Protein backbone atom coordinates (compact mmCIF):
# COMPACT_ATOMS: atom_id res chain seq x y z
CA UNK A 1 0.00 0.00 0.00
CA UNK A 2 1.82 3.12 -1.22
CA UNK A 3 1.48 6.69 -0.02
CA UNK A 4 0.20 7.63 -3.46
CA UNK A 5 -2.85 5.38 -3.32
CA UNK A 6 -4.27 4.87 0.17
CA UNK A 7 -7.95 5.11 -0.71
CA UNK A 8 -9.35 1.76 -1.68
CA UNK A 9 -12.48 2.94 -3.49
CA UNK A 10 -11.58 5.09 -6.45
CA UNK A 11 -14.35 7.64 -7.15
CA UNK A 12 -16.54 6.60 -10.05
CA UNK A 13 -17.26 10.19 -11.04
CA UNK A 14 -14.38 12.45 -10.22
CA UNK A 15 -14.48 16.19 -9.83
CA UNK A 16 -13.63 18.43 -12.79
CA UNK A 17 -10.90 20.96 -12.11
CA UNK A 18 -9.14 23.79 -13.88
CA UNK A 19 -5.53 24.92 -13.65
CA UNK A 20 -4.41 28.54 -13.80
CA UNK A 21 -0.88 28.63 -15.19
CA UNK A 22 1.63 30.92 -16.86
CA UNK A 23 2.40 28.51 -19.69
CA UNK A 24 2.28 24.86 -20.67
CA UNK A 25 4.52 23.71 -17.83
CA UNK A 26 4.26 23.67 -14.05
CA UNK A 27 6.68 23.46 -11.21
CA UNK A 28 7.31 19.89 -10.06
CA UNK A 29 5.34 20.25 -6.81
CA UNK A 30 2.39 21.73 -8.72
CA UNK A 31 2.42 18.83 -11.15
CA UNK A 32 2.42 16.48 -8.16
CA UNK A 33 -0.81 18.14 -6.97
CA UNK A 34 -2.31 17.46 -10.39
CA UNK A 35 -1.05 13.88 -10.50
CA UNK A 36 -2.59 13.10 -7.10
CA UNK A 37 -5.93 14.28 -8.47
CA UNK A 38 -5.59 12.26 -11.68
CA UNK A 39 -4.72 9.07 -9.79
CA UNK A 40 -8.07 9.08 -8.01
CA UNK A 41 -10.25 9.81 -11.01
CA UNK A 42 -10.56 13.59 -10.99
CA UNK A 43 -10.48 15.18 -14.44
CA UNK A 44 -8.82 18.28 -15.85
CA UNK A 45 -11.44 20.39 -17.58
CA UNK A 46 -9.59 23.56 -18.51
CA UNK A 47 -6.19 25.22 -18.62
CA UNK A 48 -6.41 28.95 -17.94
CA UNK A 49 -3.21 30.37 -19.40
CA UNK A 50 -1.81 33.84 -18.76
CA UNK A 51 -1.61 35.46 -22.20
CA UNK A 52 0.62 38.33 -21.15
CA UNK A 53 4.10 38.37 -22.61
CA UNK A 54 6.97 38.69 -20.17
CA UNK A 55 9.07 41.66 -21.14
CA UNK A 56 12.68 40.79 -21.89
CA UNK A 57 15.14 42.58 -19.67
CA UNK A 58 18.28 44.09 -21.06
CA UNK A 59 21.69 43.10 -19.78
CA UNK A 60 22.04 46.41 -17.97
CA UNK A 61 18.63 46.25 -16.30
CA UNK A 62 19.46 42.75 -15.02
CA UNK A 63 22.83 43.93 -13.79
CA UNK A 64 21.30 46.91 -11.98
CA UNK A 65 18.73 44.62 -10.39
CA UNK A 66 21.42 42.33 -8.98
CA UNK A 67 23.31 45.38 -7.71
CA UNK A 68 20.23 46.76 -5.98
CA UNK A 69 19.11 46.63 -2.35
CA UNK A 70 17.75 43.10 -2.77
CA UNK A 71 20.28 41.92 -5.29
CA UNK A 72 21.85 39.25 -3.07
CA UNK A 73 18.48 37.56 -2.56
CA UNK A 74 17.73 37.67 -6.30
CA UNK A 75 21.21 36.32 -7.06
CA UNK A 76 20.81 33.42 -4.64
CA UNK A 77 17.36 32.60 -6.01
CA UNK A 78 18.60 32.68 -9.57
CA UNK A 79 21.85 30.74 -9.25
CA UNK A 80 22.15 28.96 -5.90
CA UNK A 81 18.76 28.10 -4.37
CA UNK A 82 17.59 25.31 -6.70
CA UNK A 83 15.00 23.18 -4.87
CA UNK A 84 13.72 20.16 -6.73
CA UNK A 85 10.13 21.24 -6.06
CA UNK A 86 10.48 24.29 -8.29
CA UNK A 87 11.93 22.59 -11.35
CA UNK A 88 9.69 23.01 -14.39
CA UNK A 89 8.00 19.98 -15.97
CA UNK A 90 5.70 19.86 -18.98
CA UNK A 91 2.08 18.79 -18.81
CA UNK A 92 1.63 15.10 -19.66
CA UNK A 93 0.23 14.05 -23.03
CA UNK A 94 -3.29 13.58 -21.65
CA UNK A 95 -3.45 17.38 -21.28
CA UNK A 96 -3.05 17.87 -25.02
CA UNK A 97 -6.81 17.42 -25.44
CA UNK A 98 -7.77 19.62 -22.49
CA UNK A 99 -9.40 22.91 -23.49
CA UNK A 100 -7.26 26.02 -23.07
CA UNK A 101 -8.21 29.63 -22.67
CA UNK A 102 -5.59 32.35 -22.97
CA UNK A 103 -6.58 35.25 -20.77
CA UNK A 104 -5.50 38.84 -20.39
CA UNK A 105 -6.29 40.69 -17.19
CA UNK A 106 -6.81 44.32 -16.28
CA UNK A 107 -4.85 45.74 -13.37
CA UNK A 108 -6.20 47.88 -10.56
CA UNK A 109 -3.35 48.51 -8.20
CA UNK A 110 -1.91 45.05 -7.48
CA UNK A 111 -5.20 43.25 -8.24
CA UNK A 112 -5.98 41.38 -11.46
CA UNK A 113 -9.47 41.29 -12.99
CA UNK A 114 -10.59 38.92 -15.72
CA UNK A 115 -12.83 40.21 -18.48
CA UNK A 116 -16.55 39.30 -18.29
CA UNK A 117 -16.16 37.41 -21.57
CA UNK A 118 -13.32 35.24 -20.23
CA UNK A 119 -15.19 34.60 -16.98
CA UNK A 120 -18.25 33.49 -18.96
CA UNK A 121 -16.14 31.13 -21.08
CA UNK A 122 -14.55 29.65 -17.96
CA UNK A 123 -17.93 29.21 -16.27
CA UNK A 124 -19.25 27.35 -19.31
CA UNK A 125 -16.86 24.49 -18.51
CA UNK A 126 -18.71 23.85 -15.23
CA UNK A 127 -15.56 23.35 -13.18
CA UNK A 128 -15.77 22.15 -9.59
CA UNK A 129 -12.63 24.04 -8.56
CA UNK A 130 -9.63 25.84 -9.99
CA UNK A 131 -6.02 25.50 -8.81
CA UNK A 132 -4.13 28.79 -8.91
CA UNK A 133 -0.65 28.03 -10.23
CA UNK A 134 -0.41 31.26 -12.21
CA UNK A 135 -1.50 34.90 -12.25
CA UNK A 136 -1.29 36.96 -9.05
CA UNK A 137 -3.84 38.67 -6.78
CA UNK A 138 -7.20 37.75 -8.31
CA UNK A 139 -10.33 39.78 -7.67
CA UNK A 140 -13.81 40.10 -9.10
CA UNK A 141 -16.23 37.65 -10.66
CA UNK A 142 -13.41 35.23 -11.54
CA UNK A 143 -13.39 34.12 -7.89
CA UNK A 144 -16.80 32.51 -8.50
CA UNK A 145 -16.06 30.93 -11.89
CA UNK A 146 -15.99 27.40 -10.35
CA UNK A 147 -18.47 25.74 -8.00
CA UNK A 148 -16.00 25.55 -5.10
CA UNK A 149 -13.94 28.55 -6.11
CA UNK A 150 -10.24 29.10 -6.71
CA UNK A 151 -7.81 27.26 -4.41
CA UNK A 152 -4.43 28.73 -3.61
CA UNK A 153 -1.49 27.73 -1.39
CA UNK A 154 0.25 29.90 1.18
CA UNK A 155 3.46 28.22 2.31
CA UNK A 156 3.67 29.79 5.76
CA UNK A 157 1.49 30.00 8.87
CA UNK A 158 -0.88 32.81 7.92
CA UNK A 159 -1.18 33.82 11.59
CA UNK A 160 2.54 34.64 11.73
CA UNK A 161 3.76 35.41 8.24
CA UNK A 162 2.00 37.08 5.34
CA UNK A 163 3.74 37.85 2.11
CA UNK A 164 6.97 35.98 1.43
CA UNK A 165 9.37 34.46 0.54
CA UNK A 166 7.85 31.10 1.55
CA UNK A 167 9.50 29.28 4.44
CA UNK A 168 12.21 31.94 4.68
CA UNK A 169 11.40 34.00 7.73
CA UNK A 170 10.88 30.97 9.96
CA UNK A 171 14.60 30.27 9.56
CA UNK A 172 15.53 33.89 10.17
CA UNK A 173 13.40 34.09 13.32
CA UNK A 174 14.35 30.63 14.68
CA UNK A 175 10.77 29.37 14.48
CA UNK A 176 10.90 25.56 14.84
CA UNK A 177 7.63 25.06 12.95
CA UNK A 178 6.56 26.19 9.47
CA UNK A 179 2.89 26.27 8.53
CA UNK A 180 1.24 25.73 5.15
CA UNK A 181 -2.38 26.26 4.08
CA UNK A 182 -4.64 25.64 1.12
CA UNK A 183 -7.34 28.28 0.97
CA UNK A 184 -10.30 29.31 -1.15
CA UNK A 185 -9.62 32.82 -2.35
CA UNK A 186 -11.98 35.65 -1.44
CA UNK A 187 -12.15 39.31 -2.40
CA UNK A 188 -9.98 40.30 0.55
CA UNK A 189 -6.22 39.74 0.37
CA UNK A 190 -4.81 37.31 2.96
CA UNK A 191 -8.35 36.46 4.05
CA UNK A 192 -9.26 33.22 2.32
CA UNK A 193 -11.32 30.32 3.66
CA UNK A 194 -8.89 27.72 4.98
CA UNK A 195 -9.53 24.30 3.46
CA UNK A 196 -6.49 22.44 4.77
CA UNK A 197 -3.62 23.31 7.09
CA UNK A 198 -0.44 21.59 8.18
CA UNK A 199 2.59 22.23 10.37
CA UNK A 200 6.05 20.95 9.46
CA UNK A 201 9.38 21.09 11.25
CA UNK A 202 11.47 23.96 9.92
CA UNK A 203 14.50 22.72 7.99
CA UNK A 204 16.74 25.46 9.34
CA UNK A 205 20.03 24.27 7.81
CA UNK A 206 18.94 24.08 4.15
CA UNK A 207 16.63 26.47 2.32
CA UNK A 208 16.29 24.00 -0.58
CA UNK A 209 15.31 21.31 1.92
CA UNK A 210 12.83 23.66 3.57
CA UNK A 211 11.14 24.46 0.23
CA UNK A 212 11.08 20.84 -0.95
CA UNK A 213 9.45 19.67 2.28
CA UNK A 214 6.89 22.48 2.35
CA UNK A 215 5.85 22.23 -1.27
CA UNK A 216 5.92 18.46 -1.77
CA UNK A 217 4.37 17.42 1.55
CA UNK A 218 1.40 19.77 1.14
CA UNK A 219 0.80 18.86 -2.51
CA UNK A 220 -1.78 16.27 -1.43
CA UNK A 221 -4.04 18.98 0.04
CA UNK A 222 -6.20 19.58 -3.08
CA UNK A 223 -6.88 15.85 -3.39
CA UNK A 224 -7.88 15.68 0.28
CA UNK A 225 -10.31 18.57 -0.05
CA UNK A 226 -11.73 16.85 -3.14
CA UNK A 227 -12.23 13.66 -1.13
CA UNK A 228 -14.09 15.59 1.56
CA UNK A 229 -16.37 17.10 -1.07
CA UNK A 230 -17.17 13.66 -2.47
CA UNK A 231 -17.71 12.19 1.00
CA UNK A 232 -20.04 15.03 1.98
CA UNK A 233 -17.85 16.27 4.86
CA UNK A 234 -16.49 19.54 3.47
CA UNK A 235 -18.48 21.76 5.81
CA UNK A 236 -15.47 24.03 6.23
CA UNK A 237 -16.38 25.76 2.96
CA UNK A 238 -19.01 27.55 5.05
CA UNK A 239 -16.43 28.85 7.53
CA UNK A 240 -15.66 32.52 7.84
CA UNK A 241 -12.59 33.80 6.00
CA UNK A 242 -9.46 33.73 8.12
CA UNK A 243 -8.48 36.87 10.00
CA UNK A 244 -4.82 37.60 10.51
CA UNK A 245 -2.92 40.54 11.95
CA UNK A 246 0.43 39.00 11.04
CA UNK A 247 3.02 41.37 9.58
CA UNK A 248 3.56 41.36 5.83
CA UNK A 249 7.05 40.23 4.86
CA UNK A 250 8.88 40.91 1.62
CA UNK A 251 12.10 39.82 -0.04
CA UNK A 252 15.07 40.51 2.26
CA UNK A 253 17.60 43.30 1.83
CA UNK A 254 21.24 42.50 1.14
CA UNK A 255 22.15 42.92 4.82
CA UNK A 256 19.30 40.61 5.91
CA UNK A 257 20.23 38.07 3.23
CA UNK A 258 23.86 38.04 4.36
CA UNK A 259 22.69 37.37 7.93
CA UNK A 260 20.43 34.59 6.60
CA UNK A 261 23.34 32.89 4.80
CA UNK A 262 25.50 33.09 7.92
CA UNK A 263 22.67 31.59 9.95
CA UNK A 264 22.25 28.75 7.43
CA UNK A 265 25.97 27.98 7.74
CA UNK A 266 25.85 27.98 11.55
CA UNK A 267 22.75 25.78 11.54
CA UNK A 268 24.40 23.39 9.08
CA UNK A 269 27.48 23.05 11.29
CA UNK A 270 25.29 22.51 14.36
CA UNK A 271 23.18 19.94 12.49
CA UNK A 272 26.25 17.94 11.43
CA UNK A 273 27.78 18.18 14.90
CA UNK A 274 24.62 16.80 16.51
CA UNK A 275 24.39 14.06 13.89
CA UNK A 276 27.85 12.78 14.86
CA UNK A 277 28.27 13.64 18.52
CA UNK A 278 24.82 13.76 20.13
CA UNK A 279 22.99 10.45 19.69
CA UNK A 280 19.95 9.86 21.87
CA UNK A 281 19.84 7.78 25.01
CA UNK A 282 16.50 6.93 26.57
CA UNK A 283 15.44 5.42 29.87
CA UNK A 284 12.14 4.64 31.61
CA UNK A 285 10.38 5.77 34.77
CA UNK A 286 7.31 4.74 36.77
CA UNK A 287 4.57 7.05 38.03
CA UNK A 288 2.21 5.70 40.67
CA UNK A 289 -0.87 7.25 39.11
CA UNK A 290 -3.29 6.18 36.37
CA UNK A 291 -2.54 7.77 33.00
CA UNK A 292 -5.57 10.08 33.06
CA UNK A 293 -4.26 11.70 36.26
CA UNK A 294 -0.68 12.26 35.13
CA UNK A 295 0.42 15.88 34.71
CA UNK A 296 3.70 17.78 34.73
CA UNK A 297 3.85 17.74 38.54
CA UNK A 298 3.48 13.94 38.64
CA UNK A 299 6.19 13.57 35.98
CA UNK A 300 8.66 15.33 38.27
CA UNK A 301 7.94 12.71 40.96
CA UNK A 302 8.58 9.74 38.64
CA UNK A 303 10.85 6.92 39.82
CA UNK A 304 13.55 6.24 37.25
CA UNK A 305 14.64 2.70 36.52
CA UNK A 306 18.34 1.75 36.50
CA UNK A 307 20.10 3.11 33.45
CA UNK A 308 20.51 0.80 30.43
CA UNK A 309 23.83 -0.91 29.67
CA UNK A 310 26.48 1.15 27.91
CA UNK A 311 25.83 1.47 24.17
CA UNK A 312 22.09 0.80 24.38
CA UNK A 313 18.91 2.55 25.45
CA UNK A 314 15.44 1.63 26.70
CA UNK A 315 12.48 3.52 25.19
CA UNK A 316 8.79 3.25 24.20
CA UNK A 317 7.62 1.49 27.41
CA UNK A 318 4.21 -0.19 27.76
CA UNK A 319 2.96 -2.30 30.65
CA UNK A 320 0.32 -4.77 31.81
CA UNK A 321 -0.46 -6.75 34.97
CA UNK A 322 -0.63 -10.52 35.40
CA UNK A 323 -1.54 -11.35 38.96
CA UNK A 324 0.86 -9.43 41.21
CA UNK A 325 3.45 -8.98 38.46
CA UNK A 326 3.86 -5.74 36.52
CA UNK A 327 5.32 -6.50 33.12
CA UNK A 328 6.97 -3.65 31.20
CA UNK A 329 7.70 -4.09 27.49
CA UNK A 330 10.04 -1.65 25.78
CA UNK A 331 12.38 -1.04 22.87
CA UNK A 332 15.85 -2.35 23.72
CA UNK A 333 18.13 -0.67 21.20
CA UNK A 334 21.77 -1.58 20.59
CA UNK A 335 23.94 1.08 18.91
CA UNK A 336 26.48 -1.50 17.77
CA UNK A 337 24.00 -3.62 15.81
CA UNK A 338 21.73 -0.60 15.08
CA UNK A 339 18.72 -2.77 15.75
CA UNK A 340 16.05 -2.87 18.40
CA UNK A 341 14.26 -5.78 20.00
CA UNK A 342 11.41 -5.87 22.51
CA UNK A 343 12.61 -6.66 26.01
CA UNK A 344 10.54 -7.25 29.15
CA UNK A 345 10.99 -6.30 32.78
CA UNK A 346 8.95 -8.21 35.38
CA UNK A 347 8.35 -6.47 38.70
CA UNK A 348 7.09 -8.85 41.39
CA UNK A 349 5.34 -7.91 44.62
CA UNK A 350 8.47 -9.12 46.40
CA UNK A 351 10.32 -6.29 44.61
CA UNK A 352 12.36 -8.81 42.64
CA UNK A 353 13.05 -7.83 39.03
CA UNK A 354 13.62 -10.09 36.04
CA UNK A 355 14.60 -9.01 32.52
CA UNK A 356 14.13 -11.10 29.39
CA UNK A 357 13.62 -10.86 25.63
CA UNK A 358 9.93 -10.69 24.72
CA UNK A 359 10.01 -10.38 20.91
CA UNK A 360 12.97 -10.45 18.55
CA UNK A 361 12.99 -10.59 14.76
CA UNK A 362 15.61 -10.22 12.04
CA UNK A 363 14.30 -6.67 11.52
CA UNK A 364 14.15 -3.70 13.89
CA UNK A 365 11.36 -3.57 16.47
CA UNK A 366 10.23 -0.78 18.79
CA UNK A 367 7.07 0.76 20.35
CA UNK A 368 5.51 -2.50 21.70
CA UNK A 369 1.94 -1.21 21.97
CA UNK A 370 -0.08 -3.33 24.44
CA UNK A 371 -3.85 -3.80 24.45
CA UNK A 372 -6.30 -6.29 25.93
CA UNK A 373 -9.28 -7.96 24.30
CA UNK A 374 -11.57 -10.42 26.12
CA UNK A 375 -8.97 -11.08 28.78
CA UNK A 376 -6.10 -11.74 26.36
CA UNK A 377 -3.06 -9.49 26.02
CA UNK A 378 -1.80 -8.52 22.57
CA UNK A 379 1.21 -6.57 21.35
CA UNK A 380 1.57 -4.44 18.23
CA UNK A 381 5.30 -3.64 18.00
CA UNK A 382 6.52 -1.22 15.40
CA UNK A 383 7.78 -3.28 12.47
CA UNK A 384 8.12 -0.61 9.81
CA UNK A 385 11.37 -2.22 8.66
CA UNK A 386 9.29 -5.22 7.58
CA UNK A 387 6.82 -2.92 5.78
CA UNK A 388 4.00 -4.30 7.95
CA UNK A 389 1.85 -3.76 11.01
CA UNK A 390 2.10 -7.08 12.92
CA UNK A 391 0.09 -8.59 15.79
CA UNK A 392 1.51 -10.77 18.60
CA UNK A 393 -0.44 -12.68 21.27
CA UNK A 394 0.64 -13.27 24.87
CA UNK A 395 0.21 -16.93 25.75
CA UNK A 396 2.11 -19.32 28.01
CA UNK A 397 4.16 -16.40 29.33
CA UNK A 398 5.52 -15.41 25.92
CA UNK A 399 4.50 -13.40 22.88
CA UNK A 400 3.71 -15.36 19.73
CA UNK A 401 3.23 -13.89 16.25
CA UNK A 402 -0.41 -14.09 15.13
CA UNK A 403 -0.87 -12.28 11.83
CA UNK A 404 -0.15 -9.23 9.71
CA UNK A 405 -2.85 -6.60 10.26
CA UNK A 406 -1.72 -4.20 7.53
CA UNK A 407 0.63 -5.36 4.80
CA UNK A 408 2.81 -3.24 2.52
CA UNK A 409 2.58 -0.27 4.86
CA UNK A 410 5.56 0.76 7.04
CA UNK A 411 3.52 1.86 10.04
CA UNK A 412 5.44 3.73 12.75
CA UNK A 413 4.22 3.64 16.38
CA UNK A 414 0.92 1.97 15.50
CA UNK A 415 -1.72 2.40 18.20
CA UNK A 416 -4.86 0.22 18.30
CA UNK A 417 -8.04 0.88 20.29
CA UNK A 418 -11.83 0.46 20.22
CA UNK A 419 -13.95 3.59 19.79
CA UNK A 420 -17.56 4.05 18.71
CA UNK A 421 -18.24 0.63 17.18
CA UNK A 422 -14.93 0.26 15.36
CA UNK A 423 -11.39 -0.86 16.04
CA UNK A 424 -8.93 1.81 14.96
CA UNK A 425 -5.24 1.79 14.17
CA UNK A 426 -3.60 5.22 14.24
CA UNK A 427 -0.07 5.28 12.89
CA UNK A 428 2.40 7.28 10.85
CA UNK A 429 4.22 6.38 7.65
CA UNK A 430 7.96 5.80 7.73
CA UNK A 431 8.54 8.51 5.10
CA UNK A 432 6.81 11.14 7.26
CA UNK A 433 7.05 9.43 10.61
CA UNK A 434 6.82 12.56 12.78
CA UNK A 435 4.35 14.55 10.72
CA UNK A 436 1.59 12.67 8.87
CA UNK A 437 -1.03 10.64 10.75
CA UNK A 438 -2.82 7.72 9.08
CA UNK A 439 -5.98 5.95 10.24
CA UNK A 440 -7.23 2.44 9.52
CA UNK A 441 -10.44 0.86 10.83
CA UNK A 442 -12.09 -2.54 11.09
CA UNK A 443 -14.98 -4.42 12.66
CA UNK A 444 -12.69 -6.82 14.54
CA UNK A 445 -9.45 -6.15 16.41
CA UNK A 446 -7.55 -8.62 14.20
CA UNK A 447 -8.84 -7.13 10.96
CA UNK A 448 -9.30 -6.82 8.12
CA UNK A 449 -8.44 -3.11 8.28
CA UNK A 450 -9.58 -0.49 5.78
CA UNK A 451 -7.77 2.76 5.03
CA UNK A 452 -9.50 5.93 6.16
CA UNK A 453 -11.10 7.73 3.24
CA UNK A 454 -8.81 10.73 3.60
CA UNK A 455 -5.37 9.50 4.64
CA UNK A 456 -3.20 11.06 5.90
CA UNK A 457 -5.81 12.63 8.17
CA UNK A 458 -3.41 15.08 9.81
CA UNK A 459 -0.09 16.77 9.05
CA UNK A 460 1.36 18.29 12.20
CA UNK A 461 4.87 17.89 13.63
CA UNK A 462 3.48 19.03 17.00
CA UNK A 463 0.86 16.36 17.58
CA UNK A 464 0.60 13.64 14.92
CA UNK A 465 2.85 10.66 15.79
CA UNK A 466 1.30 8.37 18.44
CA UNK A 467 2.91 8.37 21.90
CA UNK A 468 1.12 5.81 24.04
CA UNK A 469 -2.21 4.29 25.04
CA UNK A 470 -5.34 6.43 24.52
CA UNK A 471 -7.45 6.92 27.64
CA UNK A 472 -10.64 8.63 28.76
CA UNK A 473 -10.91 11.84 30.73
CA UNK A 474 -14.56 12.01 31.62
CA UNK A 475 -16.38 11.09 28.42
CA UNK A 476 -13.60 12.29 26.10
CA UNK A 477 -11.03 10.04 24.49
CA UNK A 478 -7.49 11.43 24.86
CA UNK A 479 -4.76 10.38 22.43
CA UNK A 480 -1.13 10.96 23.49
CA UNK A 481 1.02 12.15 20.59
CA UNK A 482 4.59 13.30 20.11
CA UNK A 483 5.53 16.94 19.81
CA UNK A 484 8.77 16.84 17.81
CA UNK A 485 8.76 20.48 16.78
CA UNK A 486 11.93 21.42 18.69
CA UNK A 487 13.57 18.01 19.01
CA UNK A 488 12.51 14.46 18.20
CA UNK A 489 10.19 13.25 20.97
CA UNK A 490 10.50 16.57 22.78
CA UNK A 491 7.26 16.32 24.74
CA UNK A 492 3.81 14.76 24.64
CA UNK A 493 0.67 16.45 23.33
CA UNK A 494 -2.62 15.22 24.78
CA UNK A 495 -5.20 15.35 21.99
CA UNK A 496 -8.94 15.22 22.58
CA UNK A 497 -10.64 13.26 19.80
CA UNK A 498 -13.54 15.31 18.44
CA UNK A 499 -14.45 13.30 15.32
CA UNK A 500 -13.33 9.84 14.29
CA UNK A 501 -15.31 8.19 11.51
CA UNK A 502 -14.33 6.42 8.26
CA UNK A 503 -14.71 9.80 6.51
CA UNK A 504 -13.63 12.37 9.11
CA UNK A 505 -10.94 12.96 11.71
CA UNK A 506 -10.60 15.91 14.04
CA UNK A 507 -8.80 16.31 17.34
CA UNK A 508 -7.74 19.21 19.56
CA UNK A 509 -4.62 19.46 21.69
CA UNK A 510 -5.66 20.18 25.29
CA UNK A 511 -2.29 20.20 27.08
CA UNK A 512 1.35 19.15 26.91
CA UNK A 513 3.31 16.83 29.21
CA UNK A 514 6.93 17.98 29.42
CA UNK A 515 10.07 15.95 30.24
CA UNK A 516 11.18 15.57 33.83
CA UNK A 517 13.43 18.63 34.25
CA UNK A 518 15.03 17.37 37.47
CA UNK A 519 16.22 14.08 36.00
CA UNK A 520 19.20 13.07 33.83
CA UNK A 521 16.67 12.48 31.01
CA UNK A 522 15.29 15.99 30.60
CA UNK A 523 15.68 16.41 26.82
CA UNK A 524 12.61 14.50 25.68
CA UNK A 525 9.51 12.49 26.58
CA UNK A 526 7.69 10.54 23.87
CA UNK A 527 5.75 7.69 25.45
CA UNK A 528 3.05 7.70 28.11
CA UNK A 529 1.13 4.50 28.81
CA UNK A 530 -0.31 2.75 31.78
CA UNK A 531 -2.46 0.10 33.40
CA UNK A 532 -4.66 0.66 36.44
CA UNK A 533 -2.66 2.75 38.94
CA UNK A 534 0.66 2.52 37.09
CA UNK A 535 1.92 4.82 34.34
CA UNK A 536 5.20 4.27 32.56
CA UNK A 537 7.08 7.02 30.69
CA UNK A 538 10.46 7.50 29.07
CA UNK A 539 13.01 10.31 28.95
CA UNK A 540 15.87 11.35 26.72
CA UNK A 541 19.37 12.69 27.05
CA UNK A 542 22.27 13.03 24.61
CA UNK A 543 25.53 11.10 25.00
CA UNK A 544 28.43 10.41 22.65
CA UNK A 545 28.73 6.87 21.30
CA UNK A 546 31.58 5.52 19.18
CA UNK A 547 29.43 2.98 17.29
CA UNK A 548 27.05 5.74 16.30
CA UNK A 549 29.94 8.03 15.31
CA UNK A 550 31.54 5.48 12.98
CA UNK A 551 28.18 4.56 11.48
CA UNK A 552 27.51 8.22 10.64
CA UNK A 553 31.03 8.57 9.25
CA UNK A 554 30.47 5.61 6.91
CA UNK A 555 27.05 6.95 5.99
CA UNK A 556 28.38 10.40 5.07
CA UNK A 557 31.55 9.29 3.28
CA UNK A 558 30.25 6.12 1.59
CA UNK A 559 33.08 3.97 2.97
Q: What is the pLDDT of residue 12?
A: 55
Alpha carbon distance 285, 280 (integer Å) = 17
Q: What is the DSSP string of 311-329?
A: TEEEEEEEEEEETTEEEEE
Q: What is the pLDDT of residue 55?
A: 67
Q: What is the pLDDT of residue 61?
A: 78
Contact, 144 vs 137, CB < 8 A? Answer: no
Q: Give every residue of the chain whose pLDDT is below 50, as ranges.
A: 1-11
Q: What is the pLDDT of residue 74?
A: 92
Contacts of 173 (CB under 8 A, 6+ apart): none
CA angle 541, 545, 547 (to 5 degrees): 140
Region class of 226: left (phi > 0), else alpha (psi between -120 and 50), else beta: alpha
pTM given for the model: 0.94
Q: What is the pLDDT of residue 350?
A: 63
First to last CA, the chain: 33
Contact, 307 vs 283, CB < 8 A? Answer: yes
Alpha carbon distance 520, 523 (integer Å) = 9
- Of residues 359, 357, 462, 367, the one with CA closest to residue 410: 367
Burial of 396 (0-12, 13-18, 19+ CB in 10 A): exposed
- Domains of the chain (ranges plus CATH)? 16-272 (3.40.50.170), 278-557 (2.115.10.20)
CA angle 132, 138, 140 (to 5 degrees): 130
Q: What is the pLDDT of residue 57?
A: 73
**DSSP symbol at 361:** -
Q: What are φ and ψ of residue 422, in 5° steps? A: -135, 155
Alpha carbon distance 555, 311 (integer Å) = 19
Alpha carbon distance 14, 140 (integer Å) = 28
According to the 3-state scheme, what is the secondary structure of 422-488?
A: EEEEEEEEHHHCCCEEEEEEECCCCCCCEECCCCCCEEECCCCCECECCEEECCEEEEEEEECCCCC
Query: For 531-558, what is each residue's pLDDT tens digit?
Result: 989 999 999 999 999 999 999 999 988 7
Q: What is the pLDDT of residue 9?
A: 41
Q: What is the pLDDT of residue 4?
A: 44
* Number of C-beta neighbours around residue 456 at 10 A: 23
Alpha carbon distance 415, 291 (integer Å) = 16
Burial of 452 (0-12, 13-18, 19+ CB in 10 A): buried
In angstroms, what CA-CA distances link 10 with 14, 37, 41, 224?
A: 9, 11, 7, 13
What angle separates helix 71-79 from helix 254-277, to the nearest 10 degrees? Answer: 50
Amino acid sequence: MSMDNLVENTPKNGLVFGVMCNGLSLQKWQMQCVEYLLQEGHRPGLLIVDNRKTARESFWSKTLKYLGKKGLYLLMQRFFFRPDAKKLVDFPEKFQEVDRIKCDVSLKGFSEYFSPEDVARIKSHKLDFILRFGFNIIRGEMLFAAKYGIWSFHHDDEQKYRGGPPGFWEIVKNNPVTGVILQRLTEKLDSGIILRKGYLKTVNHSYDGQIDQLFFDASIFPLQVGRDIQNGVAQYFENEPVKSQAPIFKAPSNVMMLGFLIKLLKNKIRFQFEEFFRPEFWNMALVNKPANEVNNLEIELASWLPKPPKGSYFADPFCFLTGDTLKILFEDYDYQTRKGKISQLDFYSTNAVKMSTAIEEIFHLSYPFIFENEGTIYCLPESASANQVRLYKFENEKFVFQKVLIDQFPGVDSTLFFYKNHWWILTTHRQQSNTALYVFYGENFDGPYISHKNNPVKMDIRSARPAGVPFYKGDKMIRPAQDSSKTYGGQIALNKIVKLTPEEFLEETTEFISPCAASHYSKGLHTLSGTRNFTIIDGKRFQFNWHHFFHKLREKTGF
